[in-house]
Amino acid sequence: MIEPFLLKLRARDAIAPDEEAAIREMIAEVKEVPADRTLVRAGDEINHSILLLDGLLCRYKDLRDGSRQISELHVSGDFADLHAFTLKRLDHSVMALTKCRVAFAPHERIMAVTRAHPHLTRMFWLMTNIDAAIHREWVLSLGRRSALSRTAHLFCELRLRLGLVGLAAETGYALPLTQADLAECLGLTSVHVNRVLKELREAGLVEFRGGRVTIRDSVALERAAEFDPAYLYLEPRPR
C-alpha cells in the first residue's frame, strides 16, 4: 500500500526494515476521495499529512480574479503536504485532480518517528527539500522557458516521477488531466496549451490525448525542454 512511497525513498537512500515498519505505523486511515475534491484549503490548521497512494493531487493557489496556479502535481507515493508537519497550516490548497486513494498520517505519529528515527527524519526532510527543488524548476520554467519548452519539460518531469513508482514506461504514461489542468500548471490559458500540444504533436515530440502522454521522440523532447533530471535527486546515497 505504501510501496510507492518506499520506492521514492529508496531511490534516494536505503531504508532499513525497522524504518519501513515505522512508516507503516504512521498511517492512521486510508480513504477514497472523488475527483475535484479539495482536501486542504489554504490557511486551514492541519494536524495530519496526506500520503497519496493512488491518483493525482495538486497543490494550488488562486488570485482574486479567479485565476489559479498549480504549484506542484502529486503522484502515487508523494507525501503531498508533509511540510505541514512543521508549518502547521498551509499557504496553498490541496485538491484531487482524479479519484484518489489517500492515507492520513497524524502529526503526532510523525513526531514519534522523528524521536525514534533520526535517519528517517532526514529522509522526510529530504522529501520536502525535493519538492522545493521541483518548485525551483517550475520557477525557471515559468520565468524563462517558452510555452512549448515549459510544456515539454512538464512531460519529462512526470515521466521520471511516475516511472519511479512504476507508472510510466519509456514510451509514455497515463496522465488523466484536462488541458485546462495543464494550463494551470504551466501559467498559460487552456487555449494556448491546446496550440502548444498541437505543435508538440506535429513536431513528433509528444502526444497528449485521452489522458495519456505518448512520447514519440524522447531525445528531441528533452532537448526542447532543456531537461536535466538532476533536480529530482535520483541517486541513492547516505543522507
Partner DNA sequence: CGCTACGTTGATAGCTTTCAATTCAAGTGG
Partner DNA sequence: CCACTTGAATTGAAAGCTATCAACGTAGCG
Stretch that binds a second copy, among 3-11, 19-27, 85-93, 166-174 (CB under 8 A): 85-93
Question: Of 54-83, which residues contact DNA (CB under 7 A)?
Answer: none
User: What does the chain come to in residues?
Assistant: 239
Instruction: Pick the closer one to a second copy by CB: 49 or 76.
Output: 49
Q: From residue 208, how far is each of 131, 134, 179, 202, 231 by CA, in Å?
A: 25, 22, 9, 11, 24
Site stretch for a second copy (CB under 8 A), options 26-34, 47-55, 131-139, 191-199:
131-139
User: Which partner in a second copy, DNA, none is near 122 (CB below 5 to 8 A by kind)?
Assistant: a second copy
Interface characters, 129-168, with DNA (x: CB under 7 A): -----------------xxx--------------------
Task: Give SS3 for 169.
Answer: strand
Residue range at the interface with DNA (CB under 7 A); choices 17-25, 75-83, 88-96, 176-184: 176-184
**CA–CA separation, 126 vs 121, rounded Å?**
8
Binding map of DNA across residues 185-214, x = CB under 7 A, - = no contact: --xxxxxx-xx-xx----------xx----
In the complex, least distance from residue 195 CB atom to DNA, rounded to whole angstroms: 6
Residue placing its CB nearer to a second copy in the complex, 92 or 159: 92
Q: Find the shortest distance in angstroms from Cβ 211 to DNA.
A: 7
CB contact set of 4 (below 8 Å; sequence gap of 6+) = 53, 76, 77, 165, 166
Q: Residue for cell digits 502522454? A: 213
Interface with a second copy, residue 201, by CB under 8 A: no
Phi, psi (degrees; rounded to nearest 5) at 151 = -65, -45
Comparing CB distances to DNA, the nearer of 66 and 238 is 66
Amino acid at site 69: Q
Q: Which of 9, 4, 2, 5 is nearest to 119 (CA)?
A: 9
Distance CA 167, CA 159 (A): 8
180 touches DNA by CB under 7 A: yes
Listing DSSP states for 176-223 in one string gives ---HHHHHHHHTS-HHHHHHHHHHHHHTTSEEEETTEEEES-HHHHHH
User: For binding to a second copy (CB under 8 A), which residues are involved?
Assistant: 42-43, 59, 61, 63-64, 67-69, 71-72, 83, 85-88, 91-92, 114-115, 118, 121-123, 125-126, 128-133, 135-140, 142-145, 186-187, 226, 230-231, 233, 237, 239
